[in-house]
A and B are shown apart, each in its own frame.
Chain A
């Protein structure tokens, strides 16, 4: 976990690692995230039921010895579905982040470096995407292309990249004024080389922080869209579509075990990711002294 987060860092940034390790909240959060991920990966081993095994004799059963967290409306074990749901929710968050990372960094560096017409085009597209309220445009897109896990990942990824794009673009615009870029140009380095060797490593810190936070964002968006029935479709479990059971007033009022646990899992995961993200920001930002 720890190694992963700091992989893109340069040697000189051992200080960052030191700062991060001494940030208790961030470290505890990282440990919690590691456990959550491990539990989700090991779902088939840990769960005593299948995620889609229905038990019609025990429908909407309160937590008991047979089902630790009770069963849902068709008698599926809630605890089992929480474990499997974690896989889907976290994976959706991470995959959507990778799309944003790719689009945001690539277009951001290009727009910042070349400026002019290219910047104009990318920036206006980013502005246009950002001026749709997320849920409104996401709902229209899903209404047209239909719901599904992969589509959900693409919808989140393609609608959320402008945030990262703006960060990278602004950062690159400042960076390219530096003398070492001029020197690199004078030495005959190609634009591609300058972007990959000089600009990319220097925007890594804000990109890392922003990507971490966007995983959290992705998990919230998955939960929200699946809650509305527009994301991950049953029988596949995700924390969001488990929460959609609470759309029924009677479940909301009487069967707390069906929707409170997945909600708490989302909140816990997102909170932990956000703490890690903030920890990374503090550790990587030379302006913040610990």
Chain B
């Protein structure tokens, strides 16, 4: 198993190197130079040129790449042109809002998807199965932001039930419990949308992998022996879908973050996604690149975690690797 994990870690490192090269190329292609936001506009251009020479701006690309990588590893992502703050600080500050939104949606959609996916697989071809499958099919076909806009229009503007955007009522100065309540009300729509869309696509995978399991002989055997449905489904069935489910969650993570970017933009939710969108509108390149690096690193980390969990959850991986190792 250790050999397997080491291999996965090695692969993750290789992927991160490719990712970093892609981002480095993008940074090199961005208009302007990285010091524009740091110096006042009336600085002598010759002086800037000299400083840039000293800093190695005109050094050979591989050398620049290594230097840039070194700085990035130390979390030095440069300064935001718009906010005049270190990018890393800005991102970490916004991260908690994104986590609040995506995390809640992730937990909710995992439970809904697992329940709905397993149940529809168990009761295949029932009316419930058909209805749920159709709904999930429609949900993955409608653009997330359009459903979000429709909900804002109907629930916020027409019925006045929920606030259309933001994280707290603007101009309010709630503290303590009141503030938490206010935030919760603002979370309903964005979390709701993310949850519905995520559970729709996750459910489809879980239904597919559980359907395979339910047709296995050992499941029919257990059923024939009179095992209760609950134990049959969750202990014998779902346990065997574990690796598929873990892989699925890791796979869904990029799409969750990607969806959060759009959802945050639509709902003006002050998380990383909105930060990124605002940065693009104001051409704040250090922030754009910082967010991109940050997201990619999170996802590579998640994929690695999924590999580790799969190895733990699925004894076949370790056995298989051992055998392969002796050959």
A172 at the interface (CB under 8 A from B): no
* Residue interface mask A118-130, B partner, CB < 8 A = 1: 0000001101101
Question: Which one, A134, A142, A259, contacts B258 given CB within 8 A?
Answer: A134
List B residues at the A interface (Cβ < 8 Å). Answer: 11, 14-15, 18-19, 22-23, 26, 29-31, 137-138, 140-146, 149-150, 152-153, 157, 164, 254-255, 257-258, 261-262, 265, 273, 276-277, 280, 283, 285, 288-289, 291-292, 295-296, 299-300, 303
Q: Which A-B residue pairs are the 6 nearest by beta carbons?
A: A133-B258, A128-B18, A263-B146, A271-B141, A253-B157, A267-B142
How far does the alpha carbon of A30 sit from the alpha carbon of B153 in the complex, in Å? 32
CB < 8 Å: which of A131, A134, A139, A230 contacts B19? A131
Verify A131–B143 contact, CB threshold 8 A.
no
Among residues of B, the one whose C-beta sits closest to the C-beta of A225 is B262
Binding site for B on A (CB under 8 A): 124-125, 127-128, 130-137, 139-145, 216, 220, 223-224, 227-228, 230, 243, 246, 249, 252-253, 256, 259-260, 263, 266-267, 270-271, 274-275, 278
Q: Is the interface of B mostly helix, strand, loop or mixed?
A: helix
Q: How far is the CA of A135 from the CA of B162 in the complex (A)?
A: 27
User: Which residues of chain A come closer than 8 Å to B18, judged between CB atoms?
Assistant: 124-125, 127-128
Please state if B145 and A124 are interface contacts (CB–CB under 8 Å).
no
Contact B153 A252 (CB under 8 A): yes
Cα distance A128–B149 when bound, in Å? Answer: 32
From residue A97, how far is it (CB to closest CB) to chain B in Å? 16
Task: Tell whether, in the assembled complex, residue B137 and residue A132 are in contact, meaning their CB atoms are under 8 Å apart.
Answer: no
CA distance A75 to B122 in the complex (A): 54
In the complex, which of the residues A125, A128, A259, A267 has the most CB atoms of chain B within 10 Å of its own CB atom? A128
Return chain A residues, CB-CB under 8 Å to B296: 131-132, 137
With A131-B296, A132-B292, A144-B30 given, name 18 new contacts (CB 8 A): A124-B15, A131-B19, A132-B295, A132-B296, A133-B261, A136-B273, A139-B276, A142-B280, A143-B288, A223-B146, A252-B153, A252-B157, A260-B150, A263-B142, A263-B143, A270-B143, A271-B141, A274-B137
> When the two chains form their complex, are residues B262 and A224 in contact, meaning their CB atoms are under 8 A apart?
yes
Rounded to whole Å, the gap between the CB of B214 and the closest CB of chain A is: 15
Distance in Å: Cβ of B168 to nearest Cβ of chain A: 17
B262, A135: Cβ atoms under 8 Å? yes
Q: Closest Cβ of chain A: how far from B143's Cβ, in Å?
A: 5
- Of A131, A263, A267, which is within 8 A of B303 by CB? A131
Of A223, A228, A252, A253, which contacts B277 at CB under 8 A?
A228
- Contact residues in B for A253 (Cβ distance below 8 Å): 153, 157
**Contact of B258 with A135 in the complex, beta carbons under 8 Å:** yes
Whether B26 lies near A267 (C-beta < 8 A) is no
**Once the chains are docked, how many angstroms separate the CA of A275 from the CA of B30?**
41
Which chain A residue shows the least CB distance to B281? A229
Q: Which residues of A contact B303 (CB under 8 A)?
A: 131
